[in-house]
């Protein structure tokens, strides 16, 4: 039993020594002169130190392409909304949607009962004026014959008769013009086609009340000339001075992808519209009727040879909800410059704005980069 007792005492002593050593180590740690390390602060210093190191690229100037691709839309060569010229009712209509009409063809007949009575009244006034003018003319003729005998008619009476005859003839001429005008107005009741084309809308039927159109009013008929169409393309402001009007443009319609077309630019607006772009038009012959107004196409607009563009690495362009910009490096500082994108080719993008060839721009710039930041 004695050896077992000695072993138990030995284990107890070892446990006490371990406990004493642990307490001593804890006391030394709490009472030492060393302070805890602020890991957050150290990491912040390292981040701030590296924040000024950014990857940069260079703005280059070179001829990007000999053409630019832009969307185009077909429009009718001629289009007109047809309204009645006077308040009237539709008596009969001879065309419908899809009807092909020729210039001068009668498309509808209107009726206005008050116009008939007005024309009759005008004819009555003309007849009365003609009778008065005839009587004055005959009276003057007789007085002039009588005046051949000395003293038979005084010169004053002859002059008065001449003046009365001229006045009555003037009244008759006025009434004649009035009747002609009334007949012209009455002819407004016959609606005729102003040019060859196709009716694309019919919005009235017999018995409908129609009148002169105002802005926003629905027309009686809509007539379009689709034998020749206008392909309208909007040229952005940045390309306006680079378009070569002497070369043919090529275009492919989205609805007919396999057919390549080409033509010369027919006309240009020579002014920028509300979208800061200039409208150009290309005449497209459509005798087969396969093309329809409203079709879209992709148009390759040729550019003048030697026209150069400014290119930046695509990763240098920063997009936000408010603006689009690149970060230039000027005197070692970050400078924000608003730009507009042009054509993209591989890793480079054409830009327009306050940038110059040879300048450095920051790549992969994020929201954390502020204007004025030191760039190394």
Closest to 332 in 3D by CA, of 372, 284, 285: 372
Whether 40 has a pLDDT exceeding 60, the answer reads no
How large is the greatest C-alpha to C-alpha distance in the chain, in angstroms? 193
pLDDT band of 38, cuts 50, 70, 90: very low
What pLDDT, in 10s, does the model give residues 101-119?
999 999 999 988 887 777 8
Distance between CA 304 and CA 244 in Å, rounded?
A: 5
Distance of CA 21 to the CA centre of its chain: 87
Q: Could you write out the DSSP letters of every residue in 273-306? A: -TTSEEEEEEEEE-TT----TT-EEEEEEEB-TT
Distance between CA 210 and CA 227 in Å, rounded?
A: 30
* Tokens representing residue 254 in the block: 């989205």
pLDDT band of 305, cuts 50, 70, 90: low
Please give the pLDDT value at position 281: 93
* Tokens representing residue 31 in the block: 């009472």
What pLDDT, in 10s, does the model give residues 190-219?
999 999 999 999 999 998 988 887 767 889
Count CB atoms within 10 A of the CB of residue 124: 12
Name residue 29's beta-bridge partners: none
Please give the pLDDT value at position 11: 56
Give yes or no for a contact between 154 and 74, defined as CB atoms under 8 angstroms apart.
Answer: no
Least confident of 18-27, 128-137, 179-188: 18-27
Please give the pLDDT value at position 123: 86
Give yes or no for a contact between 188 and 85, defined as CB atoms under 8 angstroms apart.
Answer: yes
Give yes or no for a contact between 261 and 250, defined as CB atoms under 8 angstroms apart.
Answer: yes
pLDDT band of 33, cuts 50, 70, 90: very low
pLDDT (mean) for 73-81:
93
Please give the pLDDT value at position 220: 92
Closest to 67 in 3D by CA, of 301, 241, 261, 239: 301
Mean pLDDT, the chain, whole residue set: 81
Interhelix angle for 113-146 vs 155-187, to 10°? Answer: 160
Radius of gyration of the chain (CA): 46
Higher per-residue pLDDT: 43 or 265: 265
């Amino acid at each position: 039993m004695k050896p077992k007792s000695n072993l138990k005492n030995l284990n107890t002593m070892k446990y006490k020594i371990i406990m004493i050593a642990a307490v001593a180590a804890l006391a030394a740690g709490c009472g030492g002169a060393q302070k805890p390390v602020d890991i957050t602060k150290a990491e912040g210093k390292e981040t701030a130190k590296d924040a000024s190191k950014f990857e940069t690229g260079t703005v280059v100037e070179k001829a990007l392409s000999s053409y630019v691709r832009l969307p185009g839309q077909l429009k009718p060569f001629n289009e007109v909304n047809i309204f009645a010229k006077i308040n009237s009712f539709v008596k009969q209509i001879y065309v419908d949607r899809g009807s092909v009409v020729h210039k001068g063809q009668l498309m509808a007949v209107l009726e206005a009962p008050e116009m008939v009575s007005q024309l009759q009244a005008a004819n009555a006034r003309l007849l009365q004026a003609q009778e008065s003018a005839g009587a004055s003319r005959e009276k003057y003729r007789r007085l002039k014959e009588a005046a051949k005998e000395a003293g038979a008619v005084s010169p004053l009476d002859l002059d008065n008769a001449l003046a009365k005859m001229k006045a009555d003839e003037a009244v008759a001429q006025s009434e004649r013009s009035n009747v002609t005008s009334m007949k012209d107005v009455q002819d407004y009741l016959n609606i005729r086609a102003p040019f060859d084309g196709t009716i694309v809308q019919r919005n009235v039927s017999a018995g409908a009340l129609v009148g002169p159109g105002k802005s926003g009013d629905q027309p009686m008929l809509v007539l379009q000339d689709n034998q020749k169409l206008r392909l309208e393309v909007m040229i952005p402001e940045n390309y306006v001075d680079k378009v070569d009007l002497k070369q043919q443009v090529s275009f492919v319609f989205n609805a007919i992808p396999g057919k390549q077309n080409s033509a010369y630019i027919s006309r240009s607006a020579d002014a920028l519209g509300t979208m800061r772009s200039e409208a150009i038009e290309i005449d497209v012959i459509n005798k087969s009727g396969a093309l329809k107004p409203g079709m879209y196409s992709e148009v390759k607009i040729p550019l003048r040879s030697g026209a150069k563009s400014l290119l930046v690495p695509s990763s240098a362009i920063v997009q936000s909800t408010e603006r689009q910009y690149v970060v230039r490096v000027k005197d070692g500082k970050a400078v924000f410059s608003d730009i507009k994108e042009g054509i993209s080719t591989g890793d480079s993008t054409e830009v327009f704005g306050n940038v110059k060839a040879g300048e450095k721009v920051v790549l992969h710039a994020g929201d954390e980069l502020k204007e004025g930041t030191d760039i190394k």
